[in-house]
Amino acid sequence: MPPLTLRSRLRRSIGPDIDGYFFVLPTVVIMVCLIVYPFGLAVWYSLSNAFIGEETKFIGLDNFRYILFEDDIFLLTIRNTLLFAVISVVVKVVLGLLCAMLLLRIVRFRRFLRGAMLLPFVAPTALTTLAWWLILDPTYSHINWMLQHVWPFSLFDLGPYLWLGNPTLALSSVIFVNIWRGLPFFIITILAGLVAIPDNLYEAAEIDGATTMQKFWRITLPLLRPVLAVIILFSTIFTLADFNIVYVLTRGGPMNETHLFATYSFTYGILNHEIGLGAAIALFLFPILILTVILLLRLVRRDSEYEL
């Protein structure tokens, strides 16, 4: 029997499609360089005492112990981040669904409205947040002015409210701006999902005497579930890692009541030069994100087996 060539040996061990591996190689290399390496480096930093300009030593889980058991601001940051992400995503889903269904029914100015809807999403975050910064300004808030001078608001003797200075209002304000910015993404994606649902399903339901609510719960929502799962996944990741909105509006204040993982990580990692602690705070998100991804992907997989 003649000796096997290298190609034959490879084919025997990894299957017949060797060429396929070569085709995906560039993607693998790019992923290793741009995703795996930085992620690995971040993990290493979080397990080290990395400090800008100093020698780095492995210290195990000490950074995590410090932020969890000694740093009271970090505990507040966890609470803020979870409230920020959960409220934002839930409101965006509900409002997104509502707006998308309304947009689907609108006939006049349809193109204009769909285009205009995207504006908050496509404008640079830093710029739009600066506009909100002026609208919510502590001394000359546009909203406060409107509440006091514009009829009918002026009848109710409302405000002035300290949108960025009161802990509850400040957190609510940053959540509101996040919703305002992220909502168009939900609306447009859900709208695409709605358009893809075949009309004959609704016609059949109508013949069977289904009510509007029944059509929504039995047809619209189940068929939208894969789309919803994907946008919830994306939105959760982006919302948990949000930085610009809080950094521009409150810088984590008042009294750290709006600090998120990203802003607090920036404070430690860049301003205080403690890269190790900064990385530990940023990576604290990772298990939460993994859990979210697993849950949502399971949902998508279950739905992909859905049969009409």
Partner 1 sequence: MTRKTNGHVAEILDKPSSRRKFIKQSAAVSGGMAGILATGIAPAIGQTHELKMLVNSHFVPASDEELKRQLEEFGKAEGIKTRLDRVAHIQLPAVLAGEIQGQKGHDIVTVRNADPHLYSKHLEPLDDLYAKVGKAGGGWTNHDVGKGRDGRQAAMPWYFISFPIAVRTDLIAEIGEDLPDTWEDVLRIGIKLKKKGHPVGIQLSHGADSNWILRGLLWSWGAKLVESDSKTIAVNSKETIDAFKFIRDLFKNAMTEEVLAWDDRNNNVCLASGKCSMILNPISAYRSAVRDKALIQGTDKPVHQVINHIMPPKGPMGRHMGSSHSNVGIWKFSKNVDVAKRFLDFHFESKNAEKLLQASSGYNQPLLTNHALHPLYATNPKYYFAPFIGWYTHAIGWPGVPTAASQTIYDQYLLPDAAAAVATGKLTPEESAKKIEKQMKRIYRRF
**Residues near partner 1, by CB under 8 A:** 52-54, 66, 70-73, 137-140, 162-166, 170, 250-256, 267, 270-274
Nearer to partner 1, 92 or 259 (CB): 259
Instruction: Label residue 72 exposed, middle or buried (CB < 10 Å: 0-12, 13-18, 19+).
Output: exposed
- In whole angstroms, the minimum distance from the beta carbon of 126 to partner 1 comes to 12
Residue ranges of alpha helices (H) inside the chain are: 6-14, 18-31, 37-46, 62-69, 72-105, 110-117, 119-122, 125-135, 142-149, 167-196, 199-207, 212-215, 221-240, 244-249, 261-266, 275-283, 285-304
Q: Is 58 helix (H, G, I), strand (E, B) or coil?
A: strand
- In whole angstroms, the minimum distance from the beta carbon of 193 to partner 1 comes to 40
- In whole angstroms, the minimum distance from the beta carbon of 265 to partner 1 comes to 13
Task: For residue 34, give both structure tokens.
Answer: 């741009």
Nearer to partner 1, 3 or 53 (CB): 53
Nearer to partner 1, 120 or 165 (CB): 165
Nearer to partner 1, 231 or 279 (CB): 279
Would you tell me how many other CB atoms lie within 10 Å of the CB of residue 42? Answer: 17
Cα distances (angstroms) measured from residue 259 to each of 5, 80, 162, 277: 61, 7, 18, 15
- In whole angstroms, the minimum distance from the beta carbon of 248 to partner 1 comes to 10
- In whole angstroms, the minimum distance from the beta carbon of 138 to partner 1 comes to 4
